[in-house]
Amino acid sequence: MREIDAKDITEAVARLCVEANTDLSADVVGAFNSGLENEKSPVGRAVFKALLANAEIARSEKVPMCQDTGFAVIFAEIGQDLHIKGGSFTEAINSGVRKGYQDGFLRKSICDPFTRANTKDNTPAVIITDIVEGDKLTLTIAPKGGGSENMSRVMMLTPSGGKKAVMDYIVQRCQEAGSNPCPPVIVGACIGGTPEKAAILAKKALLRKIGTKNPDPDLAAMEDELLTRINNLGMGPQGLGGSVYAMAVHLEKHPCHIASLPLAVNICCHASRHKEVTL
């Protein structure tokens, strides 16, 4: 059985927390450039220019692109033939978050829900694990800011509502979110599963490269239609008015109970941060 050391996990997580927060991925920068071309509003175009400049400063100076360096959400695909030695898996991840947020001058934003006392090291991370075949460990670090996360919802629709109810709810959610989640946004949604399954898959949908379609042609068509409908609302970049509120809509689906039609919507700000490593 293959073995990896817990401290290697810690090192990788620490590095990726900093990298995710300072180095915006090429697909997002590409989407900013497309937005700059397609946006009709002069103010909206100025926003895209500012975001491109901001991403460049963050990368070159190794400073966070956004002061809200997020909740450290970590997706882990753990090969069933892999053994982790030298410490607890959860603690290895949290140590990495602690180190990355401290050494990288990232903001610590995690607190007690009632006392609001800050944990001061951005832990605990939210760790979502999948046991997969093989002997590798793939970690995806996806820091998520509070402003866009506050716009997330899980809705238990009635099956009779069908596709129309799903699409109307997603469009309505964007309208209500307005300028709050820092548009231009990426809209992630999952239809089906249970409420908790849908919430996880909606967030996971945000990890796809911007603009890649769901391989299911029905879902891909819904993604296109939703993107048009959302952008036709006219809210534009930052909600200041314009034609590009959303840069992409990413849908997932999962089988659900015969009585249910769950829908989770997770809106991501333009600072769509995620970095992956396989150990």
Partner 1 sequence: MSNIIKLKTPFTNESIASLKAGDMVSISGEIYTARDAAHKRLVDLLDAGKELPFDIKGAVIYYVGPSPAKPGKVIGSAGPTTSYRMDAYAERLMEVGMKGMIGKGKRAKDVVDAMVKHKAVYFAAIGGAAALIARSIKSVELVAYEDLGPEAIRRMVVEDFQVMVINDLSGADLYEMGQAQYKVS
Nearer to partner 1, 123 or 243 (CB): 243
Instruction: Provide the minimum distance between the beta carbon of 64 and partner 1 in the complex, in angstroms, as a whole number.
Output: 5
Which range touches partner 1 (CB under 8 A), out of 63-71, 81-89, 164-172, 250-258? 63-71
Does 29 bind partner 1 (CB under 8 A)? Our answer is: no
Does 163 bind partner 1 (CB under 8 A)? Our answer is: no
> Which of 7, 108, 213, 254: binder of partner 1 (CB under 8 A)?
108
The Cα–Cα gap between 2 and 223 comes to 40
Question: Applying CB under 8 A, what is the total number of residues that bind partner 1?
Answer: 50
Sign of CA dihedral 23, 26, 28, 32: positive
Instruction: Provide the minimum distance between the beta carbon of 90 and partner 1 in the complex, in angstroms, as a whole number.
Output: 25
- Cα 274 to chain centroid distance, Å, stands at 7
Does 47 bind partner 1 (CB under 8 A)? Our answer is: yes
The Cα–Cα gap between 206 and 192 comes to 17
**Binding to partner 1 in span 214-233, by CB under 8 A:** 232-233
Sign of CA dihedral 84, 90, 95, 98: positive
Site map 176..215 versus partner 1, x via CB under 8 A: --xxx-x---------------------------------
Q: Are 50 and 241 in contact (CB under 8 A)?
A: no
Encoded tokens for 36: 């700059």
Q: What is the largest CA-CA distance in the chain?
A: 59
Which range touches partner 1 (CB under 8 A), out of 7-15, 54-62, 87-95, 165-173? 54-62
Nearer to partner 1, 79 or 184 (CB): 184
Does 110 bind partner 1 (CB under 8 A)? Our answer is: no
Q: Which of 82, 108, 27 is nearest to 275 (CA)?
A: 27
Encoded tokens for 81: 């033939």
What is the Rg, in whole angstroms, of the alpha carbon atoms belonging to the chain? Answer: 19
Does 269 bind partner 1 (CB under 8 A)? Our answer is: yes
**Binding to partner 1 in span 139-158, by CB under 8 A:** 145-147, 150
> Which of 33, 80, 88, 118: binder of partner 1 (CB under 8 A)?
118
Total residue length of the chain: 279
The Cα–Cα gap between 242 and 238 comes to 9
The Cα–Cα gap between 4 and 200 comes to 27
Determine which helix (DSSP H) or strand (DSSP E) holds 247, and give its type and residue range: strand 246-254
Nearer to partner 1, 7 or 62 (CB): 62
Does 127 bind partner 1 (CB under 8 A)? Our answer is: no
Encoded tokens for 72: 């450290």
The residue ranges that bind partner 1 (CB under 8 A) are 40-43, 46-47, 50-51, 53-54, 57-58, 61, 63-69, 105-109, 116, 118, 120, 145-147, 150, 178-180, 182, 232-236, 238-243, 269-271
